[in-house]
């Protein structure tokens, strides 16, 4: 059977773009359909604009420290509209690069929504149809707002980069990394921030000691964190949104941001009619080669709900293209993936948490918390946390967790050692770089506790 294309990719986010480019480099005929903007969640409405907002929000503290170091420094008011224009100019630049890279590789881009008609046929909302030997779904995920009265009054993370002006106050609903990152960003930009989370502690999937450390720092910075708190309904108010809480209380806020999770974007693609198996979450079920239950259809990235991180989606897209189009069977490695959360303070980690070690047994915990030199001199109460989870018998470092400025930069390098199987003695043999915060990773001699 002859096909119009060798590969049709639905979704031009990080995973889909990488797969399309690598496949096209083999000489394959490749097309991509994207209904919004090329670049996907990370580039357009996620990691990149959020990190730029993190940078923007960091300057008041820098100026405050500068005064403690002898500078006659001051900072004026923050001009959101000016920043917003520069932000979107940068996103336009990045999108143009993604487009150019696809086109340079010979990939055809269709600015349209695509649905599957059968195992080898894609229909665009323009009415065009294409047949392809292989179809890759890389449609990512979308923010989730629960079905509560007044849900239409809530914003999501997608909306935060499009605001015409900063609100005077905001209620952030959720306790995951997106909720906590935006709470810290907006707080540092001068917004009165309240964070409501229905669980007992924020950042549920992370190390318990790290969670407590970050939560205390966020409260110390002025964020009102209300745990075991849920929202019952939203109502219009004269100057924003009136929130009715499940405990009977209420409050008025300039804006309400829901960051209560994301769901895979699988609706309306025609998957179930074709027999593509979906998991309970709505994610596409795939095997270790990213192949679905329909052999000609594959899926990568957040739509599969494996490890929902941009670099992982890129690895999955690369592995798919190497396997199917370059004749090099390759599986994406989902083990020991480092991650960072750009709260203030920043946190990062890789591998086993202390609570996982406690349940497993046979581990030693090396942990230290201290006031770092830079902010100590400036009179701030900031504290850094460093932690290693070590196997008691093999001495292998099973986990590393950091709360500190630039924790993400530190964990990237520490992750190499952890991924290679370094032991605690390998860390100990490494000479410290002094004076740095990271030197504590190689100077912790005695375990804090054992499980």
Which amino acids are annotated catalytic? 434
Q: By the 8 A CB rule, do 186 and 178 touch? A: no
Q: Is 181 annotated as a binding residue?
A: yes
Q: Is 70 annotated as a binding residue?
A: no
Residues near 329 by beta carbon (within 8 Å), at least 6 away in sequence = 289, 322, 323
Task: Dig out the tokens for 385 from the structure.
Answer: 């946390």
Q: Is 240 annotated as a binding residue?
A: no
Q: Is 316 annotated as a binding residue?
A: no
Dihedral of CA atoms 84, 178, 379, 383 in degrees, nearest 10, equals: -150
Q: Is 297 annotated as a binding residue?
A: no
| DSSP state at residue 267 | T
Alpha helices in 148-270 (DSSP H): 177-188, 208-220
Q: Is 51 annotated as a binding residue?
A: yes
Q: Which contiguous run of DSSP H or E holds residue 252?
A: strand 250-253
Question: In DSSP terms, which residues pair with 250 in a beta bridge?
Answer: 244
Q: Is 177 annotated as a binding residue?
A: yes
Q: Is 184 annotated as a binding residue?
A: no
The b/e string for 251-289 (b: 16+ C-beta within 10 A; e otherwise) is bebbbbbbbbebbbbbeebbbeebebeeeeeebbebeee
Residues near 359 by beta carbon (within 8 Å), at least 6 away in sequence = none
- 245 CB neighbour count, 10 Å cutoff: 16
Task: Dig out the tokens for 321 from the structure.
Answer: 């293209």
Q: By the 8 A CB rule, do 356 and 439 touch? A: no
Q: Is 244 annotated as a binding residue?
A: no
Annotated binding site: 51, 174-181, 261, 302
Annotated binding site for NAD(+): 174-181, 261
Annotated binding site for FAD: 51, 302
């Amino acid at each position: 059977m002859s096909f119009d294309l060798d590969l049709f990719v639905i979704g031009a986010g990080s995973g889909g773009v990488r797969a399309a480019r690598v496949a096209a480099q083999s000489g394959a005929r490749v097309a991509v359909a994207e209904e919004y903007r090329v670049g996907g969640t990370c580039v357009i409405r996620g990691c990149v604009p959020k990190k730029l907002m993190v940078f923007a929000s960091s300057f008041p503290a820098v100026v405050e420290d500068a005064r403690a170091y002898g500078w006659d420094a001051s900072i004026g008011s923050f001009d959101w509209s000016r920043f917003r224009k520069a932000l979107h100019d940068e996103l336009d630049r990045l999108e143009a690069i993604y487009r150019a890279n696809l086109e340079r590789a010979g990939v055809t881009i269709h600015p349209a929504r695509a649905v599957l008609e059968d195992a080898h046929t894609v229909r665009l909302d323009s009415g065009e149809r294409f047949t392809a030997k292989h179809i890759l779904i890389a449609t990512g995920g979308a923010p989730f707002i629960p079905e509560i009265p007044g849900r239409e009054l809530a914003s999501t993370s997608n909306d935060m980069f499009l605001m015409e002006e900063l609100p005077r106050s905001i209620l952030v609903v959720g306790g995951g990394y997106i909720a906590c990152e935006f709470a810290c960003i907006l707080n540092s930009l001068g917004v009165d921030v309240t964070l409501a989370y229905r669980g007992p502690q924020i950042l549920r999937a992370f190390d318990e000691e790290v969670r407590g450390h970050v939560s205390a720092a966020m409260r110390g910075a002025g964020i009102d964190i209300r745990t075991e708190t849920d929202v019952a309904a939203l109502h219009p108010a004269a100057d924003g949104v009136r929130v009715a809480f499940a405990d009977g209380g209420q409050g008025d806020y300039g804006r309400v941001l829901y960051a209560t999770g994301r769901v895979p974007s699988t609706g309306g693609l025609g998957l179930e009619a074709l027999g593509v198996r979906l998991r309970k979450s709505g994610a596409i079920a795939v095997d270790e080669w990213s192949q679905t239950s329909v052999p000609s259809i594959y899926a990568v990235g957040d739509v599969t709900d494996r490890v929902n991180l941009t670099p992982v989606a890129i690895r999955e897209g690369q592995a798919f293209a190497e396997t199917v189009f370059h004749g090099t069977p390759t599986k994406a490695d989902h083990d020991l993936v480092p991650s960072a959360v750009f709260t203030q303070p920043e946190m990062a980690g890789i591998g086993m948490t202390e609570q996982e070690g406690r349940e497993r047994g046979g581990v030693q915990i090396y942990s230290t918390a201290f006031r770092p030199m830079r902010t100590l001199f400036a009179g701030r109460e900031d504290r850094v946390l460093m932690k290693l989870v070590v196997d008691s018998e093999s001495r292998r470092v099973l986990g590393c967790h950091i709360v500190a400025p630039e924790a993400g930069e530190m964990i990237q390098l520490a992750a190499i050692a952890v991924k290679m199987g370094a032991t605690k003695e390998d860390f100990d043999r490494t000479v410290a770089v002094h004076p740095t915060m990271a030197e504590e990773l190689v100077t912790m001699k005695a375990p804090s506790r054992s499980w």
